[in-house]
Structure 1
Amino acid sequence: MAHKESSKAIRVEKTRSQFKTLLASNPNYFGNALGFELLKPVKKIASNTSYEELSAIGYNPRRRELQATFDIKKSGGYGGDVCDDGTLEYVRFYVETDTGWDDAGLAAARVHDIPSGKDCVNKNEHPLSYSVTVPYASFTYLCSVSRLPRARAILSWNNAPPANQPDWKPVYGSVMECNIQLDKRFIFQKWFGALTNVVEVPQNLIDALAPVSTVLDEPEEAVAAEQLPVLSVSELVDLYATPTRGKKLKLNEDPKRVAFSEVTALKSLSTPQAFSSLANSLDVVGVNLSDLVLQIEDTTGNITYEELEEVGLDPNLDRLVASFRVKKQTGFSGNFCTAGSTEYVAFWEDWDDSCNWRYLGTAEVKAYDFDDLPDGGLCYTASLPVNADEIARLCTGTSPSRVRAVLSWQTPPSTTDPNALPTWGNRVDAHVVVPPREPITGPKISILGGVGTSYISDLTGLTGPTAVYSSSGLKTDDDGRPCPFGGRIDVQGPSFGGSYRLLIENVDDGLAPTPLLDSFSVTDFDGVTTVRTPGVDGWITFLPWQENVEGVLGSFRSHISDGDKRYRVILETPTLGGDHQMVQLDNTLPEVAVSITVPGGDCGLFNPGVELQGKAVATDDFLRGWSVSIDGGPAGFSDNAVIPVADTKLNTPAGGATWTYNTTGLVQCGYTVRVQAWDRAIVNSTHNGHYRTTDVGFCILEP
């Protein structure tokens, strides 16, 4: 390892080192707090990028994921080294729709103070590149109608961007936008075919819809490439050429691009017939095939059409993420109703900074012609899982590593030469930090219910104060309160040879362990998901990492019939030993109730301007929070706030918490008072909270 540290100390300003304390003293200290505008800012700071900055945003249509990459620029100012807690960099995503910006979700990555230094080729190890991911599934249902919406990412250090506030500006961080391409999900043909069996449909309508009716039987499946037409050079010439005054055809696209795939194929399998056919197709637009072959041979690293911009490591999902931009409307072998073309991204690593690149794998993303390509092009991502357990390091041995991505259009990049430049595309290097973790020495439950077992008490089965979700990096509770588990509790751990089984033991009732027989899903290196089912006694074989990159060993599908009790999840192998982890179940919904006490009780008739009072009940052993709201009326919601006289993060007192509401401004109509409550249970290994609501009605009657 060639890491050379700098001894230069980083001076961290007060607004950074005391950031949380300053916000606690005045939520609008920096002038960006929504709802606290009446508080005078002390020091206005907006979008300071001296410490961190977004470097890429994109979308992976096949995986249906929004991803952003950001750079950590300095060696200090992040809350401690890798043996400390550090701080969180939050990224909230938005996608623009016909009705405004859709909040697509929040993710976070934990960052630390990493000493600056030089790598093995004497390049600066900063900036460090981190990536985060949120799922986002939205589609277009007709290939003739493309959906290329604007996406936005808001990066904010140590302070999560508020939900549904797309124009919010962070104190430390940045905002980035780019248009993305949503995937196609054609489920029309099945419905249209059924319709033609019972209704006479005009033939001209059938003919018009034929090009867009290639679909699958199940909407959950992706459109298979072989079901869509692959355009030949002759068809591409027809697509990209226009007649001149002399009635000759003029090719409006780079001939090297148009014929690239077939010229490449000729190199490996050339026949006189194939050469003659290709030559004739190009001759109609005045292109000589022999000259074209030489021109393609002389072309390397062309970024006219697409360009790789960034590569980073997603520390939550253990994935390398490459971001690239498609720059031109055409030149991608057909529109959305064809097979289009393929952008390949090969990934390389030098985890030990030894100046020896090792090939990891290649990801693929489809690209198409879009006549309505937005200014700035389209931003895509390609990602590849990495087996982080192979490179596990203790925190004391953590230092930056080198990674490389190589983008290539229509032909996969080299898997043996990391320096080889493709004809179309480029390469990008970056420095990343592999999160520290204990080296794996035997079978282990690493993650339970979406949370690392190091964050879960083996006595109480509850999460600790610093617990985060393993897939998103977000805190399980913003206030650090303990969280139980409910619904589907996934069990994850490293793969070993041989077989294993999972057992569950009801500890509170003193019952004997029983084998876990529930089916569960695993995802392989290529993103393909399959379902596995243990045998009658619970035994099942470990899969190699390439066939189970998320390390899912099983799922405990807990139910309210299991009781809100502590269970021990046990991993057992015949000869390699095992592991166990306690988990506290909670499948019970919060208790809620609401009433109107003044004036007149529930379901009353009131004049505008009357102040209502009532009682709200919201209780749970693990309450997250509750609220009271008014719904109804011609507009659906009123503007006047419901004021609860209680802490909405605590159980309401005996008899309920008092709430008040001023009805001034309400028009004659029916309304409801609604109480909502959420608990802190981690449900289905992915999100917080069982939810429960109830309401009571009243009417406004104008005098």
Structure 2
Amino acid sequence: MEKISKSVSNLRSNFNILLLAAKDSQNNVLSATEAIGDLSSINQNTQFEEIVCVSYIPKNEVINAIVKIKQASGYGGNACSKGTFEYVRFYFDYDRNGNWVDEGVTNFNAHSLGFDEDLCYNVQLKIDPDKRRCCDKKPVLPKVRAILSWNAAPPANQPNWTPYWGNVIERNVQIEPLRGFQCFFDDFVLYPKFKKIDTILKKNNLLPDFKNISIKDQVEIIKKHKIPATRFGYASAIKKINSQDATPFALPGYLNQLDFDFSNILDFLLKPKFNTTYEELTCVALNRAMTTLHGTIHLKKSAGYSGNLCQTGSKEYVAFYMDFGSGWEYMGTSSITVHNISEIPKDGLNYNAALAVDLDKKRKEWCESGKAKLKGILSWNVAPPINQPNHVAHWGDWEQCHVEVKSLPKGIIPGNLSLNIETLGSMHIDDIDQTDGLANGSDALGLSMNAEESPFDGKINFTGSLINGGSTALEYRLVITPPSSGSYNLLNHVTADKIGFSGEETLIPDADGWMPYTKFVGNYLGYFIPTQSGMHTIKIEVRNAGSATLLLTGNSTNFMAHKEAPVADVEITSGAGNCGSFKPGDVISGEYKALSEYPRVMSFVATPSPESNSGVISIDGVPGNSISYNDIVAPGKTGTWELATNNMPQCGYNIRLSVYDRTIMHSKNITRHATDIEGFCLIPK
């Protein structure tokens, strides 16, 4: 663990103050921070955190990053606190020509846990790739840029932005191609419509099968790329040995056409040692939110993987082990399918193998985070034997890192059965005030959403996890109590990804709202769409599926629903008024209304740009084009505005008022707004 100097420690602990000062330097705020230091001295500082791996799961369109936390403190508080946030924003360059597409941002909260070891965290983001091609065409191999930033989210659509704390890395990934009759849609440029069909095909496991590589192609590739016998004959030899068949080794058909010396491969098998010529395991980590283990697999060659993207290919297996203090425990084995790709970039491709695990019995009480050592063993085309943590794979290697085992939710006793709602509308339950039902703080799912006394509307999602459920089949239901009527059971179908990234599953409630509990990715429980504003209550109930015995009544929480969109109204009252004509240089004035029960920000803008750029807007006599939440209270604001048109050329213009409220919409963002526009012309008179 790297030692931190006093000057760097001061910069870290006062980062928010310094960040504010840097943004407001024109008002001499910097004078108050001169004794602390200059933010420019910590550009891309990786002493506290560092993004070390980026990888992709083609089948499920999930981009992953592994972040290493490198200090025992410096993260805003212990496990009882909210800690601080580590943000990762992903950019994809699909054509590898410098045209970066912002695919979004995710985060996790880090804490000062006091551990001596580095800790490895996985974060992930599901994307909708911009490009896919048929498997027999040029593969889509984007370059991915990942930007890690502590306590300040990287701004959107700025791929060249660099963080103060954190770093930027680039890696290459492979987008899942189309196969078989899927290519019909690609050929006829119907891909946007095909996406919906593709989702149905994946959900119902109706994708075309891969083709087996022909003997002729296999031989040609082996000769062209000089693939050694220990590689192309490896799986066949292992299969023969494991069969315990004492008959002479029978070569597969294609091996008879090659100069194959079986004694060489026997010597290779008898003296195992890690070989990373073709693939290497570069990182392992735990995703706390999903309770999944992850391994980053780096492919280095264009061939040696038993088939192209239209063909079967081969498997990269990762066996995971964890040591909680009493020795290695086998957690399971995951795999991904890889292929020969002749266009592979020089620095290779990066894939992710994920495994869902149950760590409930290893979790301590609230506020007591634990740790474990994690090991992944990579083995090409032959699964590593189970319960052998020191297994040496002939093709592959192993990687280790410590991980944090998060504590149980507040109020849950170790060993007790629990199924609680943990997030509502993507916000932690603890961040929703039970008096007014409004949310505050950062979201729980890495969406970079920051609530400020925010109500909810749209599709309100609920997540929660079953703890210590054992093997008993359980059912649950969600009960809603709206503000003006009695309670009723939610009857919505619940569709989500399965944990383990193997497709979707849909739960259908019975007439009383009961559904079988199934662990989904993200622990998705259900959703509710309010039809009226006001305070609502949601609670969860659990019962034994066989006996229908109510086992417990889970937690309940209040939340405020807000259905009314904000109101925006702008009028030109000077001169010729709305749609009137003015002279360049005139000061145009008017009135406005920006109304909402939960206002966030209002802003004026003159369009089009750049013609309007020289105009100066004032609101209520103060220069500036926006007013933020801190200066607006319900039911909003009314007043006057002005636009000084000095140096604006002759043109037709609009003055646009936008009013945003603080409502969390569809569990995704805070975007609800209203606009109003009035036009005018600047012409000589």
Normalised to the residue count of structure 1, the TM-score between the two structures is: 0.81
- Could you list the per-position Cα deviations for residues 555-585 of structure 1 after superposition, in whole angstroms to 9, with x for gaps in the alignment? 22x14xx211211112234432213211211
Relative to structure 1, the CA distance from residue 421 to residue 216 in structure 2 (aligned partners, 3 Å threshold; closer, same or farther) is farther
The alignment partner of 1:239 has SS state of: helix
Alpha-carbon contact 1:320-1:385 (below 8 Å) kept? yes
Contact 2:54-2:64 within 8 A present in 1 as well: yes
Pairwise CA distance, 1:513:
0.8
Separation in 2, partners of 1:594, 1:346? 63
Q: What is the SS of the residue equivalent to 2:123? A: strand
Whether the 8 Å CA contact 2:426–2:667 is kept in 1: the answer is yes
Q: Secondary structure at the match of 2:65?
A: strand
Give the Å deviation of 1:215.
Answer: 12
CA contact under 8 A between 1:79 and 1:86: conserved in structure 2?
Answer: yes
- The change in CA–CA distance for 1:688 and 1:175 in structure 2 (over 3 A counts) is same
Distance 1:174 1:576, change over 3 A: same
For each residue in 1:403-462, what CA deviation from the matched residue of structure 2 results, as whole angstroms up to 9, or x when unmatched?
Answer: 112222222223221221222211111111123333363342222222222222333222
Q: Equivalent residue of 2:167, what SS?
A: strand
Say whether residues 1:21 and 2:14 are aligned partners: no
| Offset of residue 523 of structure 1 | 3.5
Aligned to 2:524, which of 543, 546, 552?
552
Equivalent residues in 2 for 1:513-528, closer than 5 Å: 513-527=487-501, 528=503
Cα distance 1:238–1:61, how it changes in 2: closer, same or farther (>3 A)?
Answer: same
Partner of 1:134: helix, strand, or coil? strand
- Distance 1:611-1:295 versus aligned 2 partners, 3 A rule: farther
**Contact kept in structure 2, 1:308 and 1:324, CA below 8 Å:** yes
Match of 2:172 among 171, 176, 179: 179
String of CA shifts for 1:612-636, please: whole Å, max 9, x gaps. Answer: 5555543322233343344557x8x
The whole-number CA distance in structure 1 between the counterparts of 2:328 and 2:268 is 30
Partner-residue secondary structure (3-state), 2:295: strand
Structure 2 letter corresponding to 1:688: I
Is 1:476–1:483's contact at 8 Å kept on the other side of the alignment?
no
Partner of 1:150: 143
Indicate the SS of the match to 2:466: coil
What is the match of residue 472 of structure 1?
446
Distance across 1 between alignment mates of 2:513 and 2:673: 33
Matched, 1:446 2:422: yes
- Counterpart position of 1:679: 661
Counterpart secondary structure, 2:73: coil
Partner of 1:330: 303
Mapped partners of 1:598, 1:183: distance in 2: 59
Once the two structures are TM-superposed, the CA of residue 238 in structure 1 deviates from its matched residue by: 2.1
1:530 aligned residue (487, 505, 513): 505
What does residue 539 of structure 2 align with? 570
What is the alpha-carbon distance in structure 2 between the residues aligned to residue 410 and residue 92 of structure 1?
A: 33
Give the drift of 1:300: 3.5
Task: After TM superposition, list the pairs within 5 Å mapping 1:219-230 onto structure 2.
Answer: 219-222=199-202, 227-230=209-212
Q: What is the distance in 2 between the residues matched to 1:136 and 1:90?
A: 17
Shift of 1:303: 0.7
Q: Paired residue for 1:369?
A: 340
Q: In the alignment, residue 576 of structure 1 is paired with which amino acid?
A: L
1:494 aligns with 2:466: yes
User: 1:644, 1:658 within 8 Å by CA — same for their partners in 2?
Assistant: yes
* 1:305-358 alpha-carbon deviations (Å, 9 max, x no partner): 1111111222333322222211112212222222322222222222x322x222
Correspondence 1:141 to 2:133:
yes
C-alpha change, 1:526 and 1:313, in structure 2 (3 Å) is closer
Q: 1:294 to 1:17 in 2, by over 3 A?
A: same
Which residue of 107, 129, 135 maps to 2:120?
Answer: 129
Answer yes or no: is 1:56 the counterpart of 2:53.
yes
Q: 1:219 to 1:437 in 2, by over 3 A?
A: closer
Q: Across the two proteins, how many residue pairs are aligned to each other?
A: 636
Does residue 168 (structure 1) correspond to residue 161 (structure 2)? The answer is: yes
Are 1:539 and 2:514 counterparts? yes
Q: d(CA) in 2 for partners of 1:695 and 1:681?
A: 23
Which residue in the other structure is 1:106 paired with?
Answer: 105
Consecutive unaligned residues in structure 2, runs of 5 or more: 30-36, 189-193, 543-548, 620-625
Between the aligned partners of 1:92 and 1:374, the Cα distance in structure 2 is: 23
Q: CA deviation at 1:19?
A: 1.3
Greater Cα offset, 215-224 or 513-522? 215-224
Tell me by how many angstroms 1:43 deviates: 4.8
Describe the superposition over 1:180-211 as per-residue Cα deviations: whole angstroms up to 9, x where unpaired: 1112245964856998xxxxxxxxxxxxxxxx
Range that drifts further, 571-580 or 106-115: 571-580
Distance 1:606 1:259 in 2: 83
Paired residues of 1:309 and 1:324 also in contact (CA < 8 A)? yes
In structure 2, the CA distance between the partners of 1:549 and 1:655, relative to structure 1 (3 Å rule), is closer
In 2, are the aligned partners of 1:486 and 1:681 still within 8 Å (CA)? no
Tell me if structure 2 keeps the 8 A contact 1:387–1:549. no
Equivalent of 1:592, from 554, 568, 572? 568
1:248 corresponds to: none
1:647 aligned partner = 627
Q: Residue in 2 aligned with 1:122?
A: none
| The one of 51, 73, 76 aligned to 2:73 | 76
Q: What amino acid is aligned across from residue 516 of structure 1 in structure 2?
A: L
Give the conservation status (yes or no) of the 8 Å contact 1:189–1:215.
no
**Aligned 8 A contact 2:658 2:674 in 1:** yes
Cα distance change of structure 1 residues 378 and 594 upon mapping to structure 2, 3 Å threshold: farther
Equivalent position of 1:456 in the other structure: 432
Q: 1:218 aligns with which of 198, 211, 236?
A: 198
3-state SS of 2:59 partner:
coil
1:407–1:194 distance in 2 versus 1, CA, 3 Å: closer
Equivalent position SS for 1:461: coil
Q: 1:220 to 1:629 in 2, by over 3 A?
A: farther
The CA distance in 2 between the partners of 1:653 and 1:588, in whole Å, is 13
The CA distance in 2 between the partners of 1:519 and 1:229, in whole Å, is 36
Q: Could you tell me how far apart the structure 1 residues matched to 2:186 and 2:342 are?
A: 30
Q: Tell me how far apart the structure 2 counterparts of residues 599 and 77 of structure 1 sit (CA, whole Å).
A: 59
Asked if 1:254 corresponds to 2:228, the answer is: yes
Cα deviation per residue 1:99-158 (whole Å; 9 max; x = unaligned)? Answer: 7221221122211222244xxxxxxxx211122222222041322121111111111122
Q: Deviations over 1:478-511 (max 9, x none)?
A: xx434434324335342644433222112x32x2
Which runs of no fewer than 5 residues in structure 1 stay unpaired? 1-5, 34-40, 118-125, 196-213, 243-250
- Asked if the contact 1:282/1:288 (under 8 Å) is kept, the reply is no
> Structure 1 pair 9/161, CA: closer, same or farther in 2 (3 Å)?
closer
Distance (whole Å) between structure 1 residues aligned to residue 118 and residue 456 of structure 2: 38
Relative to the length of structure 2, the TM-score reads 0.83
